[in-house]
Amino acid sequence: MRYVSTRGEAAPRDFEGVLLAGLAEDGGLFLPETWPVLTTAEWRALRGLPYPDLAARIMALFTGGTPSEGELRTLLAEAYAGFGHPAVCPLVQLDARVFALELFHGPTLAFKDMAMQALGRLFDVTLKRRGERVTIVGATSGDTGSAAIEACRDRAAVDVVILHPEGRTSEVQRRQMTTVLSPNIANLALQGSFDDCQDLVKAMFADAPFREEMRLAAVNSINWARVALQIPYYVAAALALGAPDREVAFSVPTGNFGNVLAAWAARRMGLPITQLIVGSNRNDILTRFLSANDMTVRAVEPSLSPSMDIQVSSNFERLLFELLGRDARATRDTMLRFRTEGRMPVTDAAWRDAAQLFRGFALDDEGTLEEIGRLWRDCGYLADPHTAIGTAAAMAVPPSDRSIPVVVAATAHPAKFPDAVRKATGIAPPLPARLADLYERPERFTRLPAKLDAVETFVRAHARRNAA
């Protein structure tokens, strides 16, 4: 299995090379050179497997034998052993056709754990094999940072610096990052938005001397391994509901487009996924694009669903590359114009192709609270704001065939957003016992301006101190 950059100027790599590189040197994102496609019989053979075994089967299609399927099975069994539900990611039926795929039973109570707990172990295996050390830099709108920190804390060959927008995460999200005092972990609270944090991470990767000096690696979904590790839970849900002999649709609350891209990848591999519904909050750039081919950047507005407070969705570049017939030059030119002009000039043909499969839906804070309340009244189900947007989208944009089940990606535990849930339902969802003392734990983080030189100086000092 080889991987190519969406911008065509970086050398192809194998899976381990992509894992450690994260972002391609030309600024593009890696994708498989060719997509693995399973037959109907091969999909059926995956039914009934325990989740770690299923995930190992799917991941082995992307690793090219390194790690092997056997190594993956062991690694993934360890990754999911500490999850709070024996099914790892159970399906919960909400009504006659809508199901919640609960992805929040990991250590940080968010869907990012599904990939990150495995990603940390993949780094360990790969770095040990190569005798190398890396510095992970990541941007977070709330959940990626805590999941990465939990997965990589105290690992001998990995230093971690996570950038988050100060004051724009929930308190639980912030504390899950800043209360981890392991020496290889550092948190930066930046004065700006998530897009500012994400731009700084990309700028560090684009700074070739700094990238080489620090041996930078990525845990954001710009890293293909992150996306690949999210594909199995869409496979598991589809198989549980009758695929490949029954069609299914997914509704995914989406910020950086990586989670819904994993669902698209499962479809590309042959699963009968008829529709992908993209849920957005007031930062509705993806909904505007899908409804009217308008991907114009606006100011990021804080909301009750902070993990979706994003205007520049990095993983959309991967879909764009596919929509443009894998034309790397056209992809590069389109993305460069987007960055300079603030509007993405997607051709009408490419937009129509996207709009045939994807549907957009946006919900403001008031509507989000109403949906959290409705779910509790009608279904007895407590949902966080992101999941509520996904369920509202599933109700508002159903498949044309009402017999097709819709699976909502339930991306965060309601206890991560207690204020919103309490306001909508009158119930304050408690944190699980392992996090019960979270509000009493001491915090450690550094405030910095959203300036590249300041962030690079901090990252260099952190990595050098730990390597000494």
Active-site residue set: 112
d(CA 295, CA 409): 24
* Residues 413/153/308/200 CA torsion (nearest 10 deg): 170
Evaluate whether 344 touches 351 at the Cβ level (below 8 Å): no
User: From residue 23, how far is each of 66, 171, 315 by CA, in Å?
Assistant: 20, 30, 11
Burial class (CB in 10 A: 0-12, 13-18, 19+), 190: buried
Evaluate whether 127 touches 95 at the Cβ level (below 8 Å): no
In angstroms, the first-to-last Cα distance of the chain is 36
Evaluate whether 255 touches 308 at the Cβ level (below 8 Å): yes
> Which residue in the block uniquely carries the two structure tokens 């899976």?
15
- Could you write out the DSSP letters of every residue in 23-81? B-TTS-BEEESS-----HHHHHTTTT--HHHHHHHHHHHHHTTSS-HHHHHHHHHHHHT
- Other CB atoms within a 10 A radius of the CB of residue 196 amount to 17
> Which residue in the block uniquely carries the two structure tokens 């509790």?
376
d(CA 367, CA 103): 23
Closest CA to 231 of 46, 86, 40, 6: 46
Closest CA to 368 of 414, 430, 312: 414
Edge-first strand listing for the sheet containing 216-218 = 216-218, 134-139, 158-165, 185-191, 446-449
d(CA 393, CA 409): 11
d(CA 372, CA 255): 19
Closest CA to 422 of 385, 461, 379, 460: 385
- Other CB atoms within a 10 A radius of the CB of residue 377 amount to 11
Please give the single-letter amino acid code of residue 48.
G
Does the bond joining 67 to the residue before it have cis omega, within 30 degrees of 0?
yes
